[in-house]
C-alpha cells in the first residue's frame, strides 16, 4: 500500500448514493478530487453533487469494471454493499476501507465476537439458527432480550423484543428464517459513539465522544460533549482504535456503545460498528475544522488526517420526514447549521437532513 497521497484531480469512486455519499462527494470536491458515484437511483442525493454517476446496481459487473478503470481509489458509504463486489474490486483498484471491515460489520455475530476478542464488553449474546437455539439462548442472555437478524438490519429493522419466554415463537418468526442473534437487553443510562479515522500510515484520530438519543430506532440527537467522564471517554477511544487496527482499517468508522451507570462512572458495552462515516458524526462539520467526511477522504487518499478537536460544543438533530417543513424556521435560529440532503420525497422515517446547534466550547474534555 503506497503512502504517497493522491494529487488533486484524482478520482474517487463512491459505492452508494445516499446522503453519506453526498457529503463525502462534497468533501472530496473541497479537496480538489473528482468523484464517481455508483448508484441505481439517478436522482440520488450523492449523484446530484458528484462529477459523474454510474447508474447501475452495486454489483453490476460492467459498472464495477468502470469503477476499476476510472478510479484511483474506491470507497463505500453504506455497510450493505455486496462483499463479493468489493472483493472483486479490491483485486483491481485500492478499496478503502476494504472487504474485511464490511464482512464483520455485516454480521452482528462476527462484530460482537471481535469486540470481545479485543477485550471490550458487549451485551450477552448467543447465535440463533433454529427455533430450538432460542430456549438455550434465553438462559445465557436472560430476559428481556432482543432478537436481531445477524445481517442487513439497521434503524430497528429486523428486530424483535422478548419480554417473556412466550414471546420466543413470534420473535423467531419475525426473523423470517434468517440467522439471528439474541442479545441481553442492556439497561443503559445513555448511548454514546466514537467516530474515528485510521489513516494509511496507521495513525488513528478520534473525534470527541457523542451522546446519542434515538427515537423509533432512528438517531434523534447527538450531543457533544457527552456525559461520560474523561477516563471512560479514553476507554471508548482505545476500543475504537483497537478495532481499527485489528481490521487494518483505512477511513472513518464509528463504534456505538451502551453506557451503563456503575456507581459514579460508566461501563461501556460495544453495540455496533459502522465501517463508514456515521450519522452520529454529522456534528463534526459544524463544530470541528475538519468534518468526518473530509477526514474519510483524507484517510483514503493518503493525505494526513485532520485535527479532530472541536472548536464548539454542539447538539446535532436529525430532520426526519415532515421535519423538512421546518427549514425556514431552523434557518432563522442563530448558531444553527442546517444541512439538507436533496431528497425529493419526505416519507415518514426518512432522513431528510440535520441541523447542528453550536455554542462556545465550555469544557476541555
CB 254 within 8 A of CB 194: yes
Examine residue 290 and tell whether it contacts a second copy (CB under 8 A). Answer: yes
- Interaction residues for a second copy, span 174-203 (CB under 8 A): none
Q: CA–CA distance from 271 to each of 119, 186, 188 (Å)?
A: 14, 10, 11
> Is residue 135 marked as binding?
no
Is 183 annotated as a binding-site member?
yes
- Phi–psi pair at 123, nearest 5 degrees: -60, 160
Which of 99-107, 111-119, 212-220, 308-316 is the region at the interface with a second copy (rule: CB under 8 A)? Answer: 308-316
- Judged by CB under 8 A, the residue of 56, 143, 324, 350 near a second copy is 324
Identify whether the C-beta of residue 341 lies closer than 8 Å to the C-beta of residue 352. Answer: yes
Q: Which residues contact 264 (CB under 8 A, 6 or more apart)?
A: none
Q: Which of residues 2-41 bind a second copy (CB under 8 A)?
A: 5, 7-9, 22, 25-26, 29-32, 34
Question: Residues 49-68: x/- map of binding to a second copy (CB under 8 A)?
Answer: x-x-----------------
Regarding beta strands 218-224 and 312-320, do their DSSP bridges make them parallel or antiparallel, or are they unpaired?
antiparallel
Omega within 30 of 0 (cis) for the link into 144: yes
If binding is defined by CB under 8 A, does position 337 make contact with a second copy?
yes
Q: Output 263 or 334, the one with its CB closest to a second copy.
A: 334
48 binds a second copy (CB under 8 A): yes
Per-residue contact track with a second copy, 249 to 288, x per CB under 8 A? -------------------------------------x--
Q: For residue 341, what is the DSSP state?
A: -
Among 16, 97, 251, 306, binds a second copy (CB under 8 A): 306
Among 118, 124, 174, 336, binds a second copy (CB under 8 A): 336
Strand boundaries in 263-360, DSSP class E: 265-274, 312-320, 336-340, 351-360
- Say how far apart CA 109 and CA 221 lie, in whole Å: 27
165 interacts with a second copy by CB under 8 A: no
Between CA 40 and CA 51 the distance in angstroms is: 16
For the chain, first and last CA: distance in Å? 35
CB neighbour list of residue 63: distance below 8 Å, 6 or more residues apart: 38, 54, 56, 57
Q: Which residues between 345 and 364 bind a second copy (CB under 8 A)?
A: 352-353, 358, 360
Which parts of this chain interact with a second copy (CB under 8 A)?
Answer: 5, 7-9, 22, 25-26, 29-32, 34, 48-49, 51, 286, 289-290, 298, 303-304, 306-307, 309, 311-312, 324, 327-328, 331-332, 334-342, 344, 352-353, 358, 360
Amino acid at each position: 500500500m503506497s503512502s504517497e497521497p493522491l494529487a488533486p484531480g484524482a478520482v474517487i469512486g463512491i459505492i452508494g448514493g445516499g446522503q453519506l455519499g453526498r457529503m463525502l462527494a462534497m468533501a472530496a470536491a473541497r479537496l480538489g478530487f473528482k468523484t464517481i458515484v455508483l448508484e441505481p437511483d439517478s436522482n440520488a442525493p450523492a449523484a446530484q453533487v458528484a462529477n459523474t454517476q454510474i447508474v447501475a446496481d452495486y454489483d453490476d459487473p460492467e459498472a464495477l469494471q468502470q469503477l476499476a478503470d476510472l478510479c484511483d481509489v474506491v470507497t463505500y458509504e453504506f455497510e450493505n454493499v455486496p462483499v463479493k463486489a468489493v472483493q472483486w474490486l479490491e483485486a483491481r483498484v485500492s478499496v478503502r476501507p476494504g472487504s474485511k471491515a464490511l464482512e464483520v460489520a455485516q454480521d452482528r455475530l462476527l462484530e460482537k465476537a471481535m469486540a470481545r476478542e479485543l477485550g471490550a464488553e458487549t451485551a450477552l449474546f448467543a447465535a440463533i439458527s433454529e427455533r430450538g437455539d432460542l430456549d438455550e439462548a434465553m438462559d445465557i442472555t436472560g430476559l428481556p432480550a432482543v432478537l436481531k437478524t445477524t445481517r442487513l438490519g439497521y434503524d430497528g429493522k429486523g428486530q424483535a423484543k422478548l419480554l417473556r419466554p412466550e414471546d420466543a415463537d413470534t420473535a423467531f418468526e419475525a426473523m423470517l428464517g434468517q440467522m439471528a442473534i439474541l442479545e441481553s437487553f442492556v439497561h443503559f443510562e445513555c448511548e454514546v459513539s466514537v467516530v474515528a479515522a485510521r489513516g494509511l500510515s496507521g495513525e488513528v484520530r478520534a473525534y470527541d465522544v457523542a451522546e446519542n438519543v434515538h427515537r423509533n430506532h432512528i438517531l434523534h440527537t447527538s450531543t457533544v460533549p457527552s456525559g461520560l467522564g474523561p477516563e471512560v471517554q479514553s476507554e471508548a477511544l482505545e476500543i475504537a482504535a483497537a478495532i481499527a487496527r485489528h481490521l487494518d482499517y483505512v477511513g472513518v468508522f464509528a463504534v456505538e456503545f451502551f453506557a451503563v451507570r456503575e456507581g459514579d462512572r460508566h461501563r461501556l458495552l460495544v453495540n455496533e460498528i459502522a465501517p463508514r462515516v456515521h450519522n452520529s458524526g454529522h456534528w463534526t462539520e459544524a463544530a470541528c475544522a475538519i468534518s468526518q467526511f473530509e477526514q474519510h477522504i483524507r484517510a483514503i487518499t493518503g493525505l494526513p488526517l485532520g485535527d479532530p478537536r472541536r472548536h464548539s460544543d454542539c447538539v446535532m438533530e436529525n430532520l426526519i420526514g415532515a421535519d423538512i417543513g421546518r427549514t425556514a424556521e431552523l434557518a432563522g435560529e442563530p448558531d444553527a447549521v442546517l444541512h439538507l440532503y436533496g431528497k425529493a420525497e419526505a416519507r415518514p422515517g426518512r432522513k431528510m437532513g440535520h441541523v447542528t446547534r453550536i455554542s462556545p466550547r465550555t469544557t476541555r474534555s
